[in-house]
Amino acid sequence: MRFYFDIRDGVPARDNTGKEFECVPAAITHAEELAAEFRSQREPKGQNSRICVVSENGAVVHEEKL
């Protein structure tokens, strides 16, 4: 199943490529890792900044704060 990792921090950035994972929990783990990387490399974002995990059918399955 393909999942997309959209960044929402005032100006939304759509992930048009996505990545294949076998299940939702694996995609969520990837989002947690991406968020940790963003937090370590950038200034703190606003409290509403997040990575949204979107399934291939367009449903948001998880949101991870940045």
pLDDT value for 17:
97
Calculate the CA dihedral of residues 2, 34, 7, 59 and round it to 10 degrees: 30
- Block residue for tokens 């949101």: 63
pLDDT value of residue 40: 86
Tell me the per-residue pLDDT of 8-43, one tens digit each, with 9 for 90 and over: 987 779 999 999 999 999 999 999 999 999 888 876
Q: State the SS3 of 2-61.
A: EEEEEEECCCCECCCCCEECCCHHHHHHHHHHHHHHHHHHCCCCCCCCEEEEEECCCCEE
Whether pTM > 0.75 for this model: the answer is yes
Can you tell me the distance from the alpha carbon of 8 to that of 50, in angstroms, rounded to the nearest whole number?
Answer: 5
